[in-house]
Structure 1
Amino acid sequence: MREAIKFTIISSVVVAFILVVVLWPLPGFILLASLIIFLGFYDMFQKKHTILRNFPVIGHMRYLLELIGPEIHQYFIESDTDGKPIDRNHRSYIYQRAKQQSKTHPFGTELDVYNDNYKWMQHSIYPAKKLETPTRVIIGGSECKQPYSASLFNISAMSYGALSKNAIEALNLGAKAGNFFHDTGEGGISEYHRKGGDLVWEIGTGYFGCRTEDGNFDAEKFKEKANWEEVKMIEIKISQGAKPGHGGVLPAAKNNEEIAEIRGVKPHTDVLSPPGHSAFNDAQGLLFFVQQLRKLSNGKPVGFKLAIGSKKEFIEICESMLETGIKPDFITVDGAEGGTGAAPIDFSNYVGMPWEDALLFVTDTLCKYDLKKDIKVITATKIFTAFDIFKALCIGADVCNSARGMMLALGCIQALRCNTNECPTGVATNNPRLVKGLVISEKWKRVKNYHENILEEFLELLAASGCKTPEELNRSLIFKKVDKQWKSYEEEYATITSV
């Protein structure tokens, strides 16, 4: 398919060039102008490519570079494995699965398998029978009256305001079609979230959607929305990996009247979430808040999300669970590599524990205090591939989420303009001219396809490992280099099973 497109483009360019040269000057100029105008109108009204809808004619430069100039890209712009924050190989991986294109990769691995950061999974010469459908995970402890059956892979927290209305609606429709959940982000629940997909309502330090005029928690507003049918779980956001201890930022350019009304703030102003919660300020206070939200939501699963900074503080939370008898239904673990639309660079680069170490610490600490059996662990940080899910579940997670992966499935090209309101793909902007380029009827299918294909490939990895179900995954199946020797995660990070 790719070669056919390349041939068509090259042939069309050559024919058009010959005609223009032969007929030049006036007839050739008229022909050239007519071709450009025709192409422009075609680009404006086609629905599959956001870049072309938003940038008619000139948008083809990007596709031409991809189709006929991979060597230019690779040798003069960026290699397939060095791009930051997400390299080209991973972006292509997501695009191909979202568009139902080829899942194969030519000519072998491009990774340096002797690099100290390389990790690999054990496989069996007696692979298990592949599951026909992915298993689901029941989230809800003994105090939960409405447990939720979650997919292994879901949409991580991204707010309306940070993302466009078309992006949010496409994500939610994709979640509905694929039967997985959509985390609202801390920006509240908009009408674009309510298209039939399951929601995890994230409550941040700004209490958007359930706040008083002075910015504190409003129990009555929370109770009303928490009992909406599509809201399946409640997540208290303590901190986010990309900006732990800082709070969220919604630039004034994105804060229009509609978004301000949803959040309960003044429009056209920078919206800054406080660094910490006003509803609690210690471990016991957090757990009492969990208990309060569970009661107000009539027993829906309630958990909290955090990036690990102080190990001592998380240990205190676990000890308080034993003292009070109050346990969250789930804990979402974020890492310092987590994504964001806007954050100070020092917070993004130097604050918080990296994802893998944070997940290892949280799961081991929960096991140490005999709490893991009652609490599901969700994780989200650079989860893009089937192997990422496999590794996370081996380390100790029960469920995985992805934010940037889902953005790429929508059509994000990593333009790195999330904080400017000038996202060219209409994903991370509220500029109407750019938003209209993101065609919901096309993009929700790509979200569903990405989810479906990545789980299908996860099941293939699971079978290759010799495991019959995800419950059999463990740290002995993942290897990393330690002191120039390959060691399994079980050898390097032996799981603590009790106090």
Structure 2
Amino acid sequence: MSRYALYVACVVLTLICTALSWAHPGWRPAAVVFTALALLGTWDLLQRRSTLRRNYPILAHFRYGLESIGPEMRQYFIESDTAEVPFSRQQRALVYQRSKSVNDTRPFGTQQDVYGVDYEWINHSMAPSFIESHDFRIAVGRGAAPYSASVFNISAMSFGSLSPNAIRALNEGARRGGFYHDTGEGSISPYHLEAGGDLVWEIGSGYFGCRDEKGGFDPERFATNAVRPSVRMIEVKLSQGAKPGHGGVLPAAKVSAEIALTRGVPQGVDCISPARHSAFSTPLQLLEFVERLRGLSGGKPVGFKLAIGHPWEWFGIAKAMHESGLHPDFIVIDGAEGGTGAAPAEFMDHVGVPMHEALMLVHNTLVGLELRDRIRVGAAGKIVSAFDIARTLALGADWCNAARGFMFALGCIQAQSCHTDRCPTGVATQDPTRWRGLEVADKATRVHHFHENTLHALRDLLCAAGLEHPSDIGPEHVLRRVSPIEVRSLAALYRFLEPGELLKGIPEHAVFKAFWRRARSDSFSQ
């Protein structure tokens, strides 16, 4: 294979130059150089710390050589190793440092433009608090098997999209840190179960893991998986931030025999989930389906994930909750800025509501109907740092999920080859010659450290603000510069509904005024 070509060439040249040097001493320097390179490549293949070095012996050192020069070059390279940079230099460097438990303090002050528009911060207190533990939890569900969730968890990434060893490392990291690992819609694989970490089982429109022969929902197969001890919550996926209104896509190149068996689909054929569910077709039927899953799972918390699109469709679900008394245990908001391994460019860039606006719409609706205390809300969309978590909680979330941050902890370098099955770091591939190079124990430690150190930082932020728990963060605590001469808190910047306000009439809020009356509990149409 071409990725081993340089190593093989060095070994061959070592043998040739060594043989020639016996007759012609002038070949000895070349023999020494190629011998050193061959030994370096051999060490790359044998070591277990770096997947990139195992998959690209000798070649990987061109990348690591820049990192070794110093922090300034390391941060530069972390930003510039891909043509597309969805995270800032500081964010990506932060994941690198926290996953490896490298000192993440910085000299010379902020790297942010404090007078730039959209600069945000959290105000500190003259009387900082003391919080002993950083293990912040949120109780979810009121049935027979409630779950205590961390405020920071692994967002949905399917087996198939990710490799077996990537799944193993994520789940082992989650087990060590006591946080959950969302399976994604690709079903529960054996690799999700090996370590015994907490799982949130995501049920997509393809019903993988609970699918009958025709592709519909099978209650018996669902119950078999749902009652597994490691499955702590069930999440019905209505839509995904990176491609809302479009079914999930696993390219044929990644549909191996194992993937086909796990999902119940043909091998070597594009695995495309339908754009909509067949088990329900109205808001009320969705809630009845949620109630059915709760019963089949033995009372485990059941909720749904969605990216907000047409407001009246979400309002229809909210009206169905109010009218029927049925409601999910939780809702996860997936922002349009979310990532994926394969999606049409237009869907990734121009479809769906960004996470902040979507989160506030859902939070406001539940508050206005006096349902917010009964339903927990999670959120996902480019969340990496403790401040990202704090700001998201201030806008109405109870907890946050992250995908790419944990992928970076696994060693992802954003080569953007997820859909080709040629991921260089073994994270997003089903090619065993690539994913076997990903050392599970080492990467699980990095996943655990990233979570642990991020929550340590969140605790420090809360203490500085004089708060006791993430649930204490409100929109009044986070401020944003909206112009060079104007600063406003999120509480002043956005309109937040009062409890029960929607029960008294339509509030003076543009979205509610335009679409609330037109929403229907018996149809997703207006």
1:233 aligned counterpart, secondary structure:
strand
Q: CA deviation at 1:77?
A: 10
Matching residue's letter, 2:467: C
1:207 is matched with 207
1:391 aligned counterpart, secondary structure:
helix
**In structure 2, how many angstroms separate the alpha carbons of the residues matched to 1:193 and 1:293?**
21
**In structure 1, how many angstroms separate the alpha carbons of the residues matched to 2:82 and 2:116?**
13
Quickly say closer, same or farther: Cα 1:464–1:75, change in 2 above 3 A. closer
The percentage of counterpart residues that share the same residue type is 51
Deviation sequence 1:407-463 (CA, Å, 0-9, x none):
011111111111111110100011111101100011111111111110011000001
Whether 1:498 aligns to 2:511 is: no
Quickly say closer, same or farther: Cα 1:82–1:387, change in 2 above 3 A. farther
Instruction: Indicate if the aligned counterparts of 2:67 and 2:73 stay in contact, CA closer than 8 A.
Output: no
**In structure 1, how many angstroms separate the alpha carbons of the residues matched to 2:420 and 2:83?**
25
Matching residue's letter, 2:87: I
1:482 aligned counterpart, secondary structure:
strand
2:127 is matched with 126
**In structure 2, how many angstroms separate the alpha carbons of the residues matched to 1:464 and 1:71?**
29
**In structure 1, how many angstroms separate the alpha carbons of the residues matched to 2:443 and 2:213?**
37
1:251 is matched with 251
2:107 is matched with 106
2:430 is matched with 430
Deviation sequence 1:336-385 (CA, Å, 0-9, x none):
10010000000000000011111111111110111110000011111100
Matching residue's letter, 1:61: F
Matching residue's letter, 1:311: P
**In structure 2, how many angstroms separate the alpha carbons of the residues matched to 1:390 and 1:257?**
42
1:157-236 equivalences in 2 (<5 Å): 157-194=156-193, 195-236=195-236
Q: CA deviation at 1:133?
A: 3.3
2:45 is matched with 44
**In structure 2, how many angstroms separate the alpha carbons of the residues matched to 1:204 and 1:315?**
21
1:219-298 equivalences in 2 (<5 Å): 219-298=219-298
2:369 is matched with 369
Instruction: Indicate if the aligned counterparts of 1:81 and 1:87 stay in contact, CA closer than 8 A.
Output: no
**In structure 1, how many angstroms separate the alpha carbons of the residues matched to 2:452 and 2:25?**
52
Q: CA deviation at 1:67?
A: 2.4
Q: CA deviation at 1:68?
A: 2.7
**In structure 1, how many angstroms separate the alpha carbons of the residues matched to 2:177 and 2:73?**
38
Q: CA deviation at 1:76?
A: 10
1:33 is matched with 34
Q: CA deviation at 1:125?
A: 2.0
Matching residue's letter, 1:124: S
1:68 aligned counterpart, secondary structure:
coil
**In structure 1, how many angstroms separate the alpha carbons of the residues matched to 2:71 and 2:101?**
21
**In structure 2, how many angstroms separate the alpha carbons of the residues matched to 1:56 and 1:90?**
28
Quickly say closer, same or farther: Cα 1:341–1:29, change in 2 above 3 A. same
2:359 is matched with 359
Deviation sequence 1:93-128 (CA, Å, 0-9, x none):
011111111111232222222222221111112211
Whether 1:156 aligns to 2:155 is: yes
Quickly say closer, same or farther: Cα 1:224–1:76, change in 2 above 3 A. closer
Matching residue's letter, 2:43: Y
Instruction: Indicate if the aligned counterparts of 1:80 and 1:88 stay in contact, CA closer than 8 A.
Output: no
Q: CA deviation at 1:66?
A: 2.1
**In structure 2, how many angstroms separate the alpha carbons of the residues matched to 1:255 and 1:362?**
36
**In structure 1, how many angstroms separate the alpha carbons of the residues matched to 2:77 and 2:89?**
14
Matching residue's letter, 1:422: R
1:286 aligned counterpart, secondary structure:
helix
Instruction: Indicate if the aligned counterparts of 1:80 and 1:89 stay in contact, CA closer than 8 A.
Output: no
**In structure 2, how many angstroms separate the alpha carbons of the residues matched to 1:472 and 1:290?**
30
1:443 is matched with 443
Deviation sequence 1:460-484 (CA, Å, 0-9, x none):
0001111122222100011113355
1:413-428 equivalences in 2 (<5 Å): 413-428=413-428
Where does structure 1 lack aligned partners over 5 or more consecutive residues? 1-22
2:400 is matched with 400
2:9 is matched with none
**In structure 1, how many angstroms separate the alpha carbons of the residues matched to 2:468 and 2:153?**
22
Deviation sequence 1:169-219 (CA, Å, 0-9, x none):
010111111111110000000000002101000000100111112111111
**In structure 2, how many angstroms separate the alpha carbons of the residues matched to 1:498 and 1:456?**
36
**In structure 1, how many angstroms separate the alpha carbons of the residues matched to 2:139 and 2:67?**
43
Quickly say closer, same or farther: Cα 1:77–1:158, change in 2 above 3 A. closer
Instruction: Indicate if the aligned counterparts of 2:155 and 2:182 stay in contact, CA closer than 8 A.
Output: yes
Quickly say closer, same or farther: Cα 1:76–1:203, change in 2 above 3 A. closer
Give me the TM-score of the superposition, normalised by structure 2.
Answer: 0.87
In terms of mean alpha carbon deviation, does 342-351 or 487-496 score higher? 487-496
Q: CA deviation at 1:25?
A: 3.6
Quickly say closer, same or farther: Cα 1:477–1:402, change in 2 above 3 A. same
**In structure 2, how many angstroms separate the alpha carbons of the residues matched to 1:469 and 1:92?**
27
Q: CA deviation at 1:82?
A: 10
1:65 is matched with 66
Q: CA deviation at 1:83?
A: 6.0
1:303 is matched with 303
Quickly say closer, same or farther: Cα 1:397–1:75, change in 2 above 3 A. closer
Instruction: Indicate if the aligned counterparts of 2:76 and 2:89 stay in contact, CA closer than 8 A.
Output: no
Quickly say closer, same or farther: Cα 1:76–1:297, change in 2 above 3 A. closer
Quickly say closer, same or farther: Cα 1:492–1:81, change in 2 above 3 A. farther
Give me the TM-score of the superposition, normalised by structure 1.
Answer: 0.92
**Once superposed, which parts of structure 1, at least 4 consecutive aligned residues long, lie more than 4 Å away?**
69-83
| Residues paired across the two proteins, number | 475
**In structure 2, how many angstroms separate the alpha carbons of the residues matched to 1:491 and 1:365?**
18
Quickly say closer, same or farther: Cα 1:476–1:77, change in 2 above 3 A. closer
**In structure 1, how many angstroms separate the alpha carbons of the residues matched to 2:382 and 2:73?**
27
